Amino acid sequence: MPFLPAHAQAPERAPDTMAARVLACASCHGAQGEGTSDVYFPRLAGKPAGYLYNQLVAFRDGRRKYPPMNYLLEFLPDEYLKKMAEYFASLRPPFPETAIPTVSDAILARGESIVKHGDTQRGIPPCASCHGPSFGGMEPAIPGLLGLRASYISAQLGGWRYGTRTAAAPDCMQIVASLLTEDDVKAVAAYLSSRPAPADPSFAPQGSLPMPLACGSEPR
Ligand code: HEC
Ligand code: HEC
């Protein structure tokens, strides 16, 4: 066997681009972060970078639980997570078609009423007071509520109620979700998922919404 210098045998290495780093995410979140047909695999594209970053930190640190993601992100440094968050925030793949609701008009109307006006008797704040009047979200870390599927929304609200999803204190969504009944969750999920998402997200500027509780900033 002829002598070969060591470098000639070294395997070809893919360059460490962001596209290469996020290949591991594509099977569940789509090549452009657009989501996949699995209703529990969320879209990432176009969400506020600070919000995505907070989620990556929460998965890494075990505050938000989904074992495949907890495992993938373990040991990744903050700076690396921030770059991935910025990458997905910058993408704009098209949205899938809006779901046709499978619930009654009365349930949809109940959902609309909660998201726009809350329920003063039961102390439920309007979702719009933090997520914006057109539910587009607010900089830096409050996500929009459109373009999400009903099963995903219900699962997240359930996660806050049962403690598998938590955010850094004050965890407003934990407080809000604990005020909702199963029927409320079904109604808001059905209403929100039936609204078309804008092709290009526009976030309310930081501090511009009334927010009944202070939350939704970047932790560091
Ligand atoms: C095996 C499938 C799978 C893989 C691989 C995966 N994810 Fe996820 N991801 C999920 C699921 C499911 C959720 C929602 C979990 C939950 O219910 O809280 C999620 C949630 C997220 C969220 C929060 C989204 C939101 O709107 O709150 C972010 C951000 C995210 N993933 C980023 C990534 C990145 C970056 C990678 C690659 C490094 C990745 N994921 C790989 C399945 C996956
Ligand atoms: C006091 C402010 C506040 C109010 C009121 C509020 N939210 Fe939120 N919401 C937040 C913040 C902050 C986050 C981001 C939490 C995190 O980082 O995990 C969030 C995140 C969410 C998410 C996660 C989206 C995703 O992509 O995973 C859903 C779903 C949601 N809110 C639904 C609602 C609904 C429905 C209501 C009304 C019943 C509501 N929110 C009211 C502050 C609020």
**pLDDT value at position 5?**
52
For residue 71, what pLDDT band results from cuts at 50, 70 and 90? very high
Cβ(57) – ligand 2 distance below 6 Å: no
Using the predicted structure, report yes or no on whether residue 2 has a pLDDT greater than 60.
no
Q: Which atom of ligand 2 is least distant from the CA of 215?
A: 12
Burial (Cβ within 10 Å: 0-12, 13-18, ≥19) of residue 95: middle
Q: By C-alpha distance, which of 37, 51, 39 is closest to 136?
A: 51
Name which of 147-151, 154-158, 200-204 the model is least confident about: 200-204
Please tell me the distance from the alpha carbon of residue 211 to that of residue 121, in angstroms, as a whole number.
18
The residue whose two tokens read 């995903």 is 152
Pair 205, 139: CB distance under 8 Å = yes
Cα-based distances in Å from 218 to 54, 99, 124, 183, 212: 7, 32, 24, 32, 18
Distance 32 CA to ligand 2 centre (A): 24
- Each residue's pLDDT tens digit, 100-137: 889 999 999 999 999 999 999 999 999 999 999 999 99
Ligand in nearest proximity to the CA of 124: 2
199 CA from centroid of ligand 1 (Å): 22
pLDDT of the residue at 14: 66
Q: Which residue's CA is the closest to the ligand 2 atom numbered 31?
A: 173
Ligand 1 near 104 CB (within 6 A): no
- Check pocket membership of 124 for ligand 1, CB cut-off 6 A: no
Centroid of ligand 1 to alpha carbon of 78 (angstroms)? 17
Within 13 Å, how many C-alpha atoms sit on residue 146's CB side?
21
Q: How confident is the model at residue 201 (pLDDT cuts 50, 70, 90)?
A: confident
Based on the number of CB atoms within 10 Å of its own CB, is 208 exposed (0-12), middle (13-18) or buried (19 or more)? exposed
> Which pLDDT belongs to residue 200?
81
- As a whole number of angstroms, the distance between CA 51 and CA 38 comes to 22
Is the model's pLDDT at 138 over the cut of 90?
Answer: yes
What pLDDT score does 96 carry?
Answer: 85
pLDDT tens digit string along 83-103?
Answer: 999 999 999 999 988 888 899
Give the pLDDT mean for 140-168: 95
Contact 188, 139 (CB under 8 A): no
Atom number of ligand 1 nearest to Cα 64 = 18
CB atoms within 10 A of CB 174: 17
Lowest mean per-residue pLDDT among 9-13, 65-69, 194-198: 9-13
125 burial type by CB count under 10 A (0-12 exposed, 13-18 middle, 19+ buried)? buried
* Cβ atoms 149, 99 nearer than 8 A: yes
Burial label for 217, CB within 10 Å (0-12, 13-18, 19+), is: middle
Segment 11-37 mean pLDDT: 87
Determine the atom of ligand 1 nearest the C-alpha atom of 56. 29
How far is it, in rounded angstroms, from Cα 135 to Cα 17?
33
Is the pLDDT at 66 greater than 90? The verdict is yes
- Per-residue confidence at 58, pLDDT binned at 50, 70, 90? very high
